[in-house]
Amino acid sequence: MSHLNKLSFFLICATVIFTTLAYGTVHQPVLAIFYLLIAGMAVLWAADCLANGVFRFSRNVLQIPLLLLGVYASIQIIPFGTFSESAGVSAIPRTISVEPFATQVTALHIFALCTFFALVLVYLESAARLRRIVTVITVFGFIYGFYAILQMVLSPDKIYGVYKPQSAVPFGSFVNRHDFAAIMEMALSIPLGMIFSGSVVRDKRLLYIVAIALMGSSLLLSGSRGGLIALIAEIMLLVILTSRAKGRRNLVLKAALSVALVAAAVGGAIFVGGDTSLTRFSDAAREDNVSSSRTQIWGVTIKVIAENLPLGAGLGAYAQAFTKHDPTSGYARVEQAHNDYLQVLADAGIVGLIIGALFLFWFFREGLRNVASTNTFRRGIAVGAFAGCFAILVHSLFDFVLHITAISVMFLTLMTMLVASGRKYPDDVDDSVQPPSKQRRSASVTSIDERSRPRK
């Protein structure tokens, strides 16, 4: 394995951590650094291919919906004629998007995420790499969750004790507490999947349980109700996936383990004190913040969808499309629909609906196939990654979590782990796999998915 290959994998892990710590990577200077990291990884990949004489790529179909979304965003900014002269201004391009510049920026961002996804699919190429990324996510989630709790106690209004958001409730490194909850849902899903599937050796189980309990406590302390609902959905899916056809006794044991882990998380949250997801349910009726009134925002979003069918208002142009139907006359700027499914319809119309349906179909097909792996270790990763991604899909019903760069990066990383868990590797721990035959240097093209066929 070349030094370029190792450096690329290191940058992938560093990107997952950096995007989370850098305020979720939503500010323009940090986004610029993110794009430079992606460009750097792409250059390293190209150099690695040239050095080894092999063009390495993945044919996994889960890349297609993201790529199609970027292509459609590019189509939405193509001028189709011009508007008639208005207020002395003429030759205004007529585009599908109501805000072409915002859509252009969104297209660039989608292509950057697509590049990151493609590179992770290439470089997560062995069981050893899977073990390393499991360790990275679990250890990072534990340390990050502990820091977030500490910050909540010492400086609840400021991120890193420096930055104080004006119109949101911060938690951890995120301006919005719901985004922190989304990261925790995914970070704790991996150790949860390993525990539920029996993939953790006996002498490490307590460490995993402690990490899960602390991350769960930090999620509850974030006060995100959507995060709590997503966590419950995640645990329910884990129980279902790991208890099928194994008898009632196994189901009861998994249910008891779920209750114990939730109780540990709740106990930790109560011990630390403060507002939690549980207590915020009782306060729901008293909230009157415009930015938090999801039912009102969803009602306006439906009007935006109806007005811009079938092509959508433009990816990234939701804020402009919302303004026309804003019942508060611009009192509060609403930039997201607080429901990723409704926003896809508002931004991309019927095309977005079709792309989203394709993604969900391929995602569930990949997940249900790979959680049946006969390799215990890879099955644990598949179960955890599938449950973590599922939790984000549930959370997306209440928030705009997938519009945050750090969450998208972690989500794509988990999806790659789900895909990689279905492959068969020479260094599998509990599979008797013969070493692969030595590849000839003259080979010109190699598909990662051909080199590592899933076990049938």
| Run of H or E including 445 | strand 445-447
pLDDT digits (tens, 9 = 90+) for 123-150: 999 999 999 999 999 999 999 999 999 9
Length of the chain measured in residues:
456
Asked if pLDDT for residue 362 goes beyond 70, the answer is yes
Which tokens go with 451?
A: 């080199």
- Would you state the pLDDT for residue 290? 42
Band (244; pLDDT cuts 50, 70, 90): low
Q: Looking at residues 250-258, what average pLDDT do you find?
A: 70
The amino acid at 168:
A
Assess whether pLDDT exceeds 50 at residue 435.
no
Cβ distance 213 to 264 under 8 Å? yes
Confidence of residue 427 (pLDDT cuts 50, 70, 90): confident
**Average pLDDT for residues 375-399, to the nearest whole number?**
94
* Tokens (6 digits) for 356: 């989203």
Q: CA nearest 201: which of 433, 368, 430, 455?
A: 430
How much is the mean pLDDT over the chain?
Answer: 86
Residues with Cβ < 8 Å from 1, sequence gap 6 or more? Answer: none
Asked if residues 26 and 175 have their Cβ atoms less than 8 Å apart, the reply is yes
Q: Give the model's pLDDT for residue 269.
A: 64
Structure tokens at 269: 């949250």
Q: Which one, of 436, 303, 412, lies nearest residue 363 by Cα?
A: 412
194-240: pLDDT as tens digits:
999 988 888 899 999 999 999 999 999 998 888 999 999 999 999 88
pLDDT in the model for residue 117: 97
Work out the average pLDDT over 433-452.
49
pLDDT at 35: 97
Mean pLDDT of 77-105: 81
CB neighbours of residue 48 within 10 Å: 21
Q: Which value, in Å, is the radius of gyration of the alpha carbons in the chain?
A: 23
Residue 443: pLDDT over 70: no
Asked if 223 contacts 281 with a C-beta cutoff of 8 angstroms, the reply is: no
Does residue 94 carry a pLDDT above 70?
yes
Mean pLDDT of 80-102: 77
**Given a cut of 90, is residue 352 above it in pLDDT?**
yes
Confidence band of 450 (pLDDT split at 50, 70, 90): low
- Residues with Cβ within 8 Å of 118's Cβ and at least 6 positions away in sequence, in order, are 57, 58, 63
- The more confident residue out of 146 and 335 is 146
User: So what's the pLDDT on residue 295?
Assistant: 84
Least confident of 7-16, 399-408, 436-445: 436-445
Q: Please name the residues in contact with 354: beta carbons below 8 A apart, sequence gap of 6 or more.
A: none
* pLDDT digits 0-9 by tens, 270-311: 656 656 665 655 555 444 444 447 888 899 999 999 999 999
How many alpha carbons fall within 13 Å on the CB side of residue 292?
17
In angstroms, the CA 234 to CA 246 distance is 20
Mean pLDDT of 50-78: 94
What are the Cα distances from residue 40, in Å, to 20, 44, 115?
Answer: 19, 6, 11
Which of 156-160, 288-292, 425-429 has the least mean pLDDT?
288-292
Q: Is the pLDDT of residue 100 over 60?
A: yes
Joined together, the tokens standing for residue 106 give 């969104």
3-state secondary structure of 398: coil
Contact 441, 52 (CB under 8 A): yes
Query: Residue 165: which pLDDT band, with cuts at 50, 70 and 90?
Result: confident
H or E stretch at 447: strand 445-447
Q: What is the DSSP letter of 93?
A: E
438 has a pLDDT exceeding 60: no
Nearest to 405 by CA among 18, 1, 11: 18
